[in-house]
Structure 1
Amino acid sequence: MRTSTPPLKDPLDLLDVSSALTAEEREIQRTVARFLSDHVRPHIGEWFEAGRFPRELVPELGRLGLLGMHLEGYGCAGVNAVGYGLACMELEAADSGLRSFASVQGSLSMYSIRAYGSEEQKQEWLPRLAAGEAIGCFGLTEPDHGSDPAAMRTRAVRDGGDWILNGSKMWITNGSIADVATVWAGTEDGVRGFLVPSGTPGFTAQDIKQKMSLRASVTSGLSFDDVRLPASAQLPEATGLRAPLSCLGEARFGIIFGALGAARDSLQSALAYADSRTQFGRPISGFQLTQKKLADMALSLNSGMLLALHLGRLKEQGRIRPEQVSAGKLNNVREAIAIARECRTILGANGISLEYPPLRHANNLESVLTYEGTSEIHTLVVGQALTGQSAYR
């Protein structure tokens, strides 16, 4: 005799993950989820198909306190690491493009200014960026130098009291809509960071078209042709490549949680579909092969969430190490993309439609798999931690 029990409302309820969260963290998660349910989910399929980023939502994200929310002062919310991670998870559950925007705005653009800028630079930019009144981007990756930023060709040379900047950057989220770019360049004293406002003569941005991933996101190439910058444009506390890499570490932490949002949304969609789709006289959720897929994915999702929470608590204690962030990004993105792809199979032919999210999430996660350090690089970071031997330097 077949029996049935009420299904779980959330696949993360399998291990009661929410019991490990504080009341404030749960409220952050609920608030972000409600906003996205009202303002993003009804439209995201259209935006993805049209290749349009909803720029009109940026001030709303600022009013919610989501931009630079883990930073202190200058109009930033100052929430803890797990609260920030949960917000990233909800943003990416709607679409990776939205989480990418928030990550670049807060963990790359704003963090670079907060950590390495002068007081004048902080006062000028951080309150506006936090409010969504201005947009920032982060220029490190170059057309020929992604995983090896030390080989960057962009250069800044002194000319009297000014700097002259030449070079190019590639795959820059927010590039063409940014009001200010944090740009990293080689100098006679090593790698340095500069704030380059949009409209500066010689600075141009071109959108990258024909993307099959992150379509509801702006991705650009940046060019610098004899861009003259005052001495005050330099980030005074940024010395060497360690500065931009520390910014990437902040963004990678958000991805550890964010990727799970895409996985959870895919799994919820597959669970609902499997319960409503009838074949051979009963819902496909009652078939053993389907349940094996669902069970395996739920275990991967919950394991990834426990990993993310552990790393979040380490970060709050100031104890997190770069190789731990790499381990989290490597594992959770890898598992998330596998979940999204498997969910597509449960939806059958309907899985290729934008009416359902799994294939959109899978496409987006192809970019997440690559940016902020490829899976290969993070594998080697973990390998070096285990063996003490560097395989890529």
Structure 2
Amino acid sequence: MSLKIGLLGLGTVGAGTVKVLRENTDDITSRAGRPIEIVRAAVRDPALPRDCDLSGIELDSDADALVADPRIDVVVELMGGIGRARELVLAALANGKSVVTANKALIAEHGKEIFECAQAHGQVVAFEAAVAGGIPIIKALREGLVGNRIDQIAGIINGTTNFILSRMEADGADFAEVLAEAQAKGYAEADPTFDVEGIDAGHKLAILATLAFDIPLATDQLHTIGVGKVSAEDISFARELGYRIKHLAVARRSEAGVELRVEPTLVPKNAFVAKVDGVMNGVSISGNAVGTAGFYGPGAGALATASAVVADIVDVALGHAIAPPAMAQEVSFVPQSAVVSAHYLRMRVTDQSGVMKTISGILAGLDISIEAMVQKESSEGQAEVVLITHEVSTGAITQAMDELAACDAVHGGIVQMRLEHLSE
């Protein structure tokens, strides 16, 4: 007996899912142990042309009827958004249907409610495609690395911002110029806020941290900084010092608690994530048994994401138990002021003797030591000074920046970014 699928949404990923299931029918049937058949799809406008073969698929706009259709075994939610998607997913589960979704915002914001509903009705919610596109990162955490205590996840999990920073570095272009290019190529939405401000990556990071650390979903504990203020000048200085700037997502667990942050970060040029360019994604996971494992691949795109969607459908067909995240452990979160890391500081100063002594004195007074420094003459009797500090709390760096900004010899704002010494 075939597994019958109902699709909510036939956009880029939905059309890709149809293509993958049709083009790889024989292989998928063999692996799933039975045929997988799309019988129905619900879309906003059935009259619009679709980039896939819809023969044999009932197409209409009645999503409520689809999730109640007794023929359908699995509802695949690819419509995006939160409010309406949440209603339909909960209805599908209540109607005795398993759910496959690529909706990271839905899982990050309402995962607890959805998983509890699935358990109450004896159904499955699978969400491999919600994080890192075609990279099987969810399965890695839930299956391949289940014997490890995971202490850190660090990676690039948004292809749009990675494309922007990669192009800025390659061409010396500014943010606005490269963002326009990303939008023209379809890598960024007309409203790119979710991507460039780190919201998208934050949702994905919250999901990964829940799986890795067995903690409740914690979108309210995310610290996110976008890429809009990263300049070509900072990218150049970072390269000169042996680093690259990446929009890095970090989930770290220590005795002090859990950190969840997405922000522009300097990483050593030979680190695994530093070599991830363009729209690709790369994630490193550190476990006490495996050490550090790296995962690399396309983070978005019709077929890459559809690959993950189909993998989840096959798991459901096989009856593989996809247990919801345990979310069992209550946890404390490290306040941003107490997060410890190295830092990059750039400031413009009066080019005269004694200035560096003043800067060094302020830093030393806060127990901040300097690992590296670059000073370049600028114009009008001023110089550009770039410092790399050893590890120190964010609170100490914030205080240092306030004291430095109050100095007559420092002109304009001070640029600050974290630096993470990630492994190769």
TM-score (norm: length of structure 2): 0.24
> Which is richer in helix?
1
TM-score (norm: length of structure 1): 0.26
